């Protein structure tokens, strides 16, 4: 019988209302209360008021680690359960025995989906050094072919960034990384004209500690790093404040599973795209958050598993 109050980002009020209208319509069709989900188009200033209201019994947030930190503090103070699904700097480990062309195809999709604005997008591609140059050539070819433009056009593959401040921050990350020694293959320049567009950008020779490696890059910026071997690749993958998701690319599924268990992340895909599935738990560790969404684990986050003990009846 859990109900939900939904607060969307203030920049997408239409999406929130569309979801609320859809849930209300389906609820009526199936005999559920119409107000089982309520849309709350409130600003940031009222969030704490809502979270401290006794009628709100738990909170689930999808957002940045900064937003998660603020909301988690309030939830903890109010002793309310919380699920934090936050940012990531997801690694994709490409080993020497992988199908490099297939890996480049799928990693391109993972990096560029929603113009790179996805928490589980592949943000750091870590490639075994013996196949590094070959993979970079394949990856660069695929990235360079992507068309940026009007998202309403069928041939557009990369649309705009959500806000100008996000675009400016992304550009800062690119320019700082280049100044730190990363190699810029293409992109990396702020385009002129209307819209918060940022070109597909490829950075290689990125090393631990560089801005594009240590921060979450939320946009169409591809980062490639070289690792001496599989062990070094795993160490580089785990050398992050985040731990949301990851992928491993190898010719051996068994080896991929062994390596996946060494990666500190909430979910790992072996030779496939990282995605959420309503049947399976999704969530991260470290600064990527805590708790799980989706599947039985997600449901149990917000129900009271009550214990009832009944003694023997007495006459």
Encoding tokens for residue 261?
Answer: 């268990």
- How many alpha carbons fall within 13 Å on the CB side of residue 277? 8
Active site (annotated) includes residue 134: no
Give the Cα separation of 239 and 125 in Å (integer).
Answer: 13
List the beta bridge partners of residue 223: 124, 203
Active site (annotated) includes residue 119: yes
Cβ atoms 38, 25 nearer than 8 A: no
Give the Cα separation of 23 and 17 in Å (integer).
Answer: 10
Element spanning 93, H or E: strand 91-94
Residue for token digits 């805590």?
290
Which is nearest to 41 in space by CA: 79, 82, 13, 74? 13
Give the strand pairing for 245-249 and 242-243.
unpaired
Give the Cα separation of 151 and 157 in Å (integer).
Answer: 8
User: Which residues, in sequence order, are CB contacts of 294 under 8 Å at separation 6+?
Assistant: 276, 277, 278, 279, 280, 281, 282
Q: Which of 48, 78, 85, 141 is catalytic?
A: 85
Encoding tokens for residue 129?
Answer: 């050094």
Give the Cα separation of 171 and 166 in Å (integer).
Answer: 9
Q: Which of 119, 128, 216, 301 is catalytic?
A: 119
What are the catalytic residues?
85, 119
């Amino acid at each position: 019988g859990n109900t939900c109050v939904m607060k969307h980002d203030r920049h997408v009020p239409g999406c929130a209302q569309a979801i609320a209208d859809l849930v209300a319509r389906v609820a009526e069709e199936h005999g559920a209360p119409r107000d089982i989900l309520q849309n709350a188009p409130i600003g940031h200033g009222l969030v704490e008021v809502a979270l401290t209201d006794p009628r709100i019994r738990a909170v689930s947030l999808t957002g940045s680690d900064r937003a998660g930190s603020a909301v988690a503090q309030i939830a903890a103070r109010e002793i309310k359960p919380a699920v934090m699904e936050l940012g990531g700097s997801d690694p994709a480990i490409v080993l020497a025995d992988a199908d490099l062309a297939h890996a480049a195809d799928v990693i391109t999709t993972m990096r560029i989906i929603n113009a790179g604005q996805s928490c589980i997008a592949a943000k750091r591609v870590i490639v075994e050094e013996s196949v590094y140059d070959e993979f970079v050539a394949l990856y660069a070819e695929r990235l360079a072919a992507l068309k940026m433009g009007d998202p309403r056009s069928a041939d557009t593959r990369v649309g705009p960034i959500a806000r100008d401040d996000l675009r400016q921050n992304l550009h800062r990350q690119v320019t700082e990384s280049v100044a730190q020694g990363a190699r810029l293959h293409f992109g990396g320049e702020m385009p002129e004209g209307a819209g918060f567009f940022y070109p597909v950008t490829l950075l290689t020779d990125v090393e631990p500690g560089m801005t594009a490696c240590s921060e979450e890059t939320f946009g169409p910026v591809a980062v490639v790093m070289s690792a001496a071997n599989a062990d070094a690749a795993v160490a580089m993958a785990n050398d992050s404040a985040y731990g949301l998701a990851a992928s491993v690319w190898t010719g051996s599924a068994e080896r991929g599973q062994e390596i996946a268990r060494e990666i500190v992340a909430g979910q790992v895909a072996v030779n496939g795209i990282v995605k959420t599935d309503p049947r399976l738990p999704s969530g991260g560790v470290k600064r990527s958050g805590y708790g799980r969404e989706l599947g039985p684990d997600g449901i149990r986050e917000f129900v009271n598993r009550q214990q009832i003990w009944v003694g023997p009846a007495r006459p």
